[in-house]
Amino acid sequence: MTDQNLRKARRTQGHRDETSPTGPHVAVVIVGAGFAGLGTAIRLLQEGHRDLVVLEQADNVGGTWRDNTYPGCACDVPSRLYSFSFAPNPDWSRRFAPQREIEGYLRRCVHDYDLTPYLRLGVALQRASWDQERHRWILQTSRGPLAAGVLVMAQGPLSEPAVPSLPGMEDFAGEMFHSARWRHHLDLRGKRVAVIGTGASAIQFVPHLQRVARQVTVFQRTPPWIMPRNDRPIPDWRRRVYRLAPPLHRLARGVEYLRREAGLPALLGNRAMADMGRKQALAHLRRQIADPALRAKLIPDYELGCKRILMSDDYYPALAQPNVEVVTNAITAITREAVITAPGPTHHATAHPADVLIFGTGFRVTDATFTQHIIGADGRSLGQTWQGSPQAYLGTTVAGFPNLFLMAGPNTGVGHTSLIYIIESQITHLLGCLRVMAERGLAAVEVRADVQASYNTALQRRMAGTVWAAGGCTNWYTDSQGRITAIWPEPTWRFRHRTRTFDPEQYTLTAAHDTPPNTMPDQPAHTLA
């Protein structure tokens, strides 16, 4: 049912479609213009919803693919899976799409689906508070106040860089930045570059640094498991076939999806499959690293998959070059011109000279700062409610926070396939909720606390036999309370099955006639320029 139907239903109950005293009122406000935000907006428009805006604090769309522009940046999910199912892209140039192409794809989606009138670029959400009396979200933004009937947080799990606090960082004389804030103006030729972190971003940009820098020192806390990437160009003839025969393109996408799902049992406790993967990764390491001392540094001491499995064909060869050193001793301090590491078994504390310091230390996933600025029905923030351990129902709705929907929320991460599949499933759930709200004349829906608790208890029970719980490593899937709250522990089709419909029985429903009328005249949403 469209926004027009919903407004009509509310008017018949004695309410006008009016503006909140604290700013223009919009039926749906989406925060973030990456895959999740743009996908949500497109599907809403396709379903007839026009009363919506997308807030984006940056000056353009793209999310993580706008922000991460470091050399070598590319997706680690096969490009066949890395597009919306309703907007397939037959023109990816490679098996693993580079950053520029993904950002370009999202910009084309904005154009093709005419999203520009709904975008509010350069507008940051500063605070969102639930108005329990009028059943709406009151938003404070960098461009003024706004009220929302439904609030969709789609800023993405990889939007806030994580930078460790190291003694003496403020004294460092050289350039220092996170890989998600790459400084392209900086000429690294002839520089001594220190890289802290060896995650998914670092293994992509370190080979570039090796080719241009005088010296690269890689500070590794724990080595990642790395599989062959086997990236390759997609032939022109194949792209032409996909354009001319969309069913073949859909078939190729389906086959790729099944291939990725077929590897999931190795993460869920299948020892035989895990051993096969381990042997493949070790063989890859032996082929590319001849030095036994360096090879020993690069062999993980935890189960394959406990941390995200990475893919690269050029990271190991880069580490083997004479201008690269891998340091495994812990960092104890940063000085004006060096990184200091703790004493090892055979030597004292060591100073590693550096002109540039680059952090490849990932993102704040389980402790994102935006949670401190979302205030629920009881006056507590989302962060205070979670207390360092995020929980939601279907990764989407949270008890105590009516009409709030989280895209890529708790326990929706996937380490083996495309997150877009999960996001589209959540969007379907949101659309189902909006239909129920319109049909029943509801002002608010809130997942029941007992439903949420039961769901999360079952999730954690399911984690018990997985590699993430038994792998013996520290990973970003685990929150500050030791619960695994970032990853989905089952095949993704089961998540889609759970979210395909909206079950009102799992929610507390508030009728629109329980909402007091407004007292302010209408203001169009476009006043938020």
Q: What is the pLDDT of residues 132-181, one digit of tens each?
A: 999 999 999 999 999 999 999 999 877 788 888 999 999 999 999 999 99
Q: What is the DSSP track for 122-166?
A: T--EEEEEEETTTTEEEEEETTEEEEEEEEEE-S-TTSSB-----
The pLDDT mean for the chain works out to 91
What pLDDT score does 116 carry? 97
Average pLDDT over residues 468-475: 79
Greater model confidence, 475 or 468? 468
Q: What is the pLDDT of residues 268-315, one digit of tens each?
A: 999 999 999 999 999 999 999 999 999 999 999 999 999 899 999 999
Query: How far, in Å, CA of 109 to CA of 310, rounded?
Result: 29
Looking at 300-304, 409-413, 475-479, which range is the least confident one?
475-479
Domains detected in the chain: 3-160+364-527 (3.50.50.60), 169-224+263-359 (3.50.50.60)
Q: Would you place residue 514 in the very low, low, confident or very high pLDDT band (cuts 50, 70, 90)? A: low
Q: Would you place residue 528 in the very low, low, confident or very high pLDDT band (cuts 50, 70, 90)? A: low
The answer to whether residue 204 scores a pLDDT higher than 50 is: yes
- In the beta sheet, which residues pair with residue 161? 363
What pLDDT score does 516 carry? 58
Greater model confidence, 27 or 1? 27
Query: How far, in Å, CA of 161 to CA of 495, rounded?
Result: 28
Percentage with pLDDT > 90 across the chain: 83
Greater model confidence, 10 or 28? 28
pTM of the model: 0.91
Q: What is the pLDDT of residues 57-95, one digit of tens each?
A: 999 999 999 999 999 999 999 999 999 999 999 999 999
Q: Which two tokens stand for residue 438?
A: 């319109």
